[in-house]
């Protein structure tokens, strides 16, 4: 499980779900960005807690916080028909040959810029790092520590929390100064060129996939049902 995932769940007050998410393979934030409504149902995430996670995902995706996460569309054979309307006849098996179970497509992400200044830790991470040091001798599991950190952060005294936030803000200001200087370098220009090429390749790959799907649909034989 990544430290980013622990930090985000702690900030959202959702550390009680860490065990379940990790056990089901949602152990990286990049994977959770592609989570669907049906996954949240299976994971048993309460509606109010789900809204917190949805807002965070929407912010990361750059979409509206009110937009629902994509849910697989129910196949026509499972749609409820009005009384008296006969169900649609099944398709011949020959039409389904070679078709496997649809797999979820995860987004490809560009590699990070290794030369860029490192992003500073948030106030929560600063608190988490200190508390981990204090709990090191207690032989607790990673998940147990994460839950304790999240609970203690939620109940932390306002004055003490302010000290962590002040340090985080100071680190953030330094990061932005360093970043402005880095953007003047050849390494930054090289990475921007890489990003541009990456986006172009992704766009071409999407076009090829869409064209392939369109061709397959066009070649699908149509059978007249009597």
DSSP states of 175-187: HHHHHHHHTTSHH
Tokens 């929560």 sit at which residue? Answer: 124
pLDDT at 145: 83
Give the mean model confidence (pLDDT) for residues 154-176. 92
- Sequence-ordered list of residues with C-beta below 8 angstroms from that of 26, at least 6 positions apart, any chain: 32, 35, 39, 43
Domains, the chain: 2-61 (1.10.150.50), 123-217 (1.10.30)
Tokens of 126: 């600063």
* Measured distance CA(146)–CA(18) in Å, rounded: 8
What's the pLDDT score for residue 103?
52
List Cβ neighbours of 15 (8 Å cut-off, separation of 6 or more).
Answer: 6, 9, 146, 147, 149, 150, 151
State pTM to two decimals.
Answer: 0.50
Please return the burial class of 207, using the count of CB atoms within 10 Å of its CB with bins 0-12, 13-18 and 19+.
Answer: exposed
Q: Exposed, middle or buried, 118 (CB in 10 Å: 0-12/13-18/19+)?
A: exposed
pLDDT digit string (tens) for 90-141? 554 444 444 444 455 555 678 888 899 988 888 888 888 888 888 888 888 8
Percent share of the chain, pLDDT over 90: 16
């Amino acid at each position: 499980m990544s430290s980013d995932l622990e930090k985000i769940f702690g900030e959202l007050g959702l550390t009680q779900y860490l065990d379940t998410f990790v056990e089901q393979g949602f152990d990286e934030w990049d994977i959770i960005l592609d989570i669907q409504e049906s996954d949240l149902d299976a994971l048993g995430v309460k509606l109010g807690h789900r809204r917190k996670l949805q807002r965070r995902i929407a912010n990361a995706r750059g979409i509206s916080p009110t937009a629902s996460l994509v849910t697989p569309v129910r196949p026509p054979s499972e749609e409820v028909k009005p009384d008296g309307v006969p169900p649609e006849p099944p398709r011949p098996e020959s039409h389904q040959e070679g078709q496997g179970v649809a797999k979820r497509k995860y987004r490809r992400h560009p590699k990070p810029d290794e030369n860029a200044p490192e992003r500073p830790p948030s106030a929560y991470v600063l608190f988490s790092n200190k508390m981990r040091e204090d709990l090191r001798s207690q032989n607790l599991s990673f998940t147990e520590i994460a839950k304790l950190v999240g609970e203690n952060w939620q109940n932390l005294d306002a004055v003490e929390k302010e000290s962590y936030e002040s340090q985080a803000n100071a680190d953030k200001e330094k990061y932005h100064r360093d970043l402005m200087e880095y953007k003047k370098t050849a390494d930054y220009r090289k990475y921007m060129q890489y990003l541009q090429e990456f986006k172009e390749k992704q766009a071409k790959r999407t076009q090829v996939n869409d064209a392939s799907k369109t061709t397959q649909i066009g070649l699908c034989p149509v059978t007249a049902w009597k």
